[in-house]
Chains A and B, each alone.
Chain A
Amino acid sequence: MAIHNAHAPGFAHQFEDMEQQREAGSLGMWIFLLTEMMFFGGLFATYIVYRALYLPSFEIGSHLLEVKFGALNTTVLIASSLTMALAIHSAQIGKRSAQVGFLITTMILGAAFLAIKFTFEWRHDYVEHLVPGFGFLIRPEWGAPGAHVPMFFCFYFFMTGLHALHMIIGIGILTVLTVMAHRGKFTPQYYSPLEVSGLYWHFVDIVWIFLFPLLYLIGGRYAGGGH
Chain B
Amino acid sequence: MMGLLQFGSVFFSSAIQAPQLRPEAASSIAEGVDHLYFALTFITLFFTIAIFSTIFFFMVKYRRRTDDETPGETEENLPLELAWTIIPALICAGLFLWASSLYFENSRPPSASTEIFVIGKQWMWHIQHPEGVREINELHVPLGVPVQLTMTSEDVIHDFYIPAFRVKKDVIPGRYSTLWFQATKVGTYHLFCAQYCGADHAEMLGWVYVMSPADYEAWLSSGSPNQTMVQIGEKTFNKLGCSSCHVSDGTGRGPSLAGAYGKEEELKTGEKRLVDEAFIRQAIITPNSVVLKNYPPIMPTFRGQVNEEQVLQLIAYVKSLGSEERNSNGK
Please list the residues of chain A having a beta carbon within 8 angstroms of any beta carbon in chain B.
143-145
Having A143-B297, A144-B287, A145-B288, one finds 5 other A-B pairs with CB under 8 Å, namely: A143-B288, A144-B286, A144-B288, A144-B297, A144-B301
Interface residues on B, range: under 10
Please list the residues of chain B having a beta carbon within 8 angstroms of any beta carbon in chain A.
286-288, 297, 301
Residues of B within 8 A of A145 (CB): 288
Residues of B within 8 A of A143 (CB): 288, 297
Question: Chain A at the B interface: mostly helix, strand, loop or mixed?
Answer: helix
Residues of A within 8 A of B288 (CB): 143-145
Q: List 8 A-B contacts (CB under 8 A).
A: A143-B288, A143-B297, A144-B286, A144-B287, A144-B288, A144-B297, A144-B301, A145-B288
Chain A residue at minimal CB-CB distance from B270:
A227
For the complex of A and B, 5 pairs with smallest distance between CB atoms:
A144-B288, A144-B297, A145-B288, A143-B297, A143-B288
A8 to chain B, nearest CB (A): 45
Residues of A within 8 A of B297 (CB): 143-144
Residues of A within 8 A of B286 (CB): 144
A222 to chain B, nearest CB (A): 20
Residues of A within 8 A of B287 (CB): 144
Docked pose: A144 CA to B300 CA in angstroms: 9
Residues of B within 8 A of A144 (CB): 286-288, 297, 301
A151 to chain B, nearest CB (A): 14
Docked pose: A86 CA to B288 CA in angstroms: 53
B264 to chain A, nearest CB (A): 21
Docked pose: A144 CA to B289 CA in angstroms: 9
B166 to chain A, nearest CB (A): 33
A225 to chain B, nearest CB (A): 12
Docked pose: A143 CA to B297 CA in angstroms: 9
Docked pose: A145 CA to B301 CA in angstroms: 12
Docked pose: A59 CA to B108 CA in angstroms: 39
Chain A residue at minimal CB-CB distance from B303:
A147
B298 to chain A, nearest CB (A): 10
Docked pose: A46 CA to B301 CA in angstroms: 26
B254 to chain A, nearest CB (A): 15
Docked pose: A144 CA to B286 CA in angstroms: 9
Chain A residue at minimal CB-CB distance from B291:
A144
Docked pose: A143 CA to B286 CA in angstroms: 12
B245 to chain A, nearest CB (A): 16
Docked pose: A144 CA to B301 CA in angstroms: 9
Docked pose: A144 CA to B288 CA in angstroms: 6
A152 to chain B, nearest CB (A): 16
Docked pose: A145 CA to B297 CA in angstroms: 11
B115 to chain A, nearest CB (A): 29
Docked pose: A53 CA to B23 CA in angstroms: 43
Docked pose: A91 CA to B288 CA in angstroms: 60
B267 to chain A, nearest CB (A): 12
Docked pose: A143 CA to B301 CA in angstroms: 12
Docked pose: A145 CA to B268 CA in angstroms: 14
Docked pose: A91 CA to B286 CA in angstroms: 61
Q: Select the residue from B288, B297, B301 with max chain A CB neighbours within 10 A.
A: B288
Docked pose: A117 CA to B286 CA in angstroms: 35
Chain B residue at minimal CB-CB distance from A54:
B289
Chain B residue at minimal CB-CB distance from A145:
B288
Residues of A within 8 A of B301 (CB): 144
B287 to chain A, nearest CB (A): 8
Docked pose: A145 CA to B289 CA in angstroms: 8
Chain B residue at minimal CB-CB distance from A53:
B289
A53 to chain B, nearest CB (A): 9
A208 to chain B, nearest CB (A): 31
Docked pose: A172 CA to B118 CA in angstroms: 58
Chain A residue at minimal CB-CB distance from B301:
A144
B156 to chain A, nearest CB (A): 20
Chain B residue at minimal CB-CB distance from A55:
B269
B111 to chain A, nearest CB (A): 32
Docked pose: A143 CA to B268 CA in angstroms: 15
B291 to chain A, nearest CB (A): 9
Docked pose: A68 CA to B286 CA in angstroms: 34
B194 to chain A, nearest CB (A): 27
Docked pose: A12 CA to B288 CA in angstroms: 63
Chain A residue at minimal CB-CB distance from B299:
A144
B228 to chain A, nearest CB (A): 33
Docked pose: A143 CA to B288 CA in angstroms: 9
A15 to chain B, nearest CB (A): 36
Docked pose: A142 CA to B293 CA in angstroms: 20
Docked pose: A51 CA to B160 CA in angstroms: 32
Docked pose: A144 CA to B268 CA in angstroms: 14
Docked pose: A143 CA to B287 CA in angstroms: 12
Docked pose: A197 CA to B261 CA in angstroms: 61
A212 to chain B, nearest CB (A): 26
A162 to chain B, nearest CB (A): 28
Chain A residue at minimal CB-CB distance from B300:
A144
A117 to chain B, nearest CB (A): 33
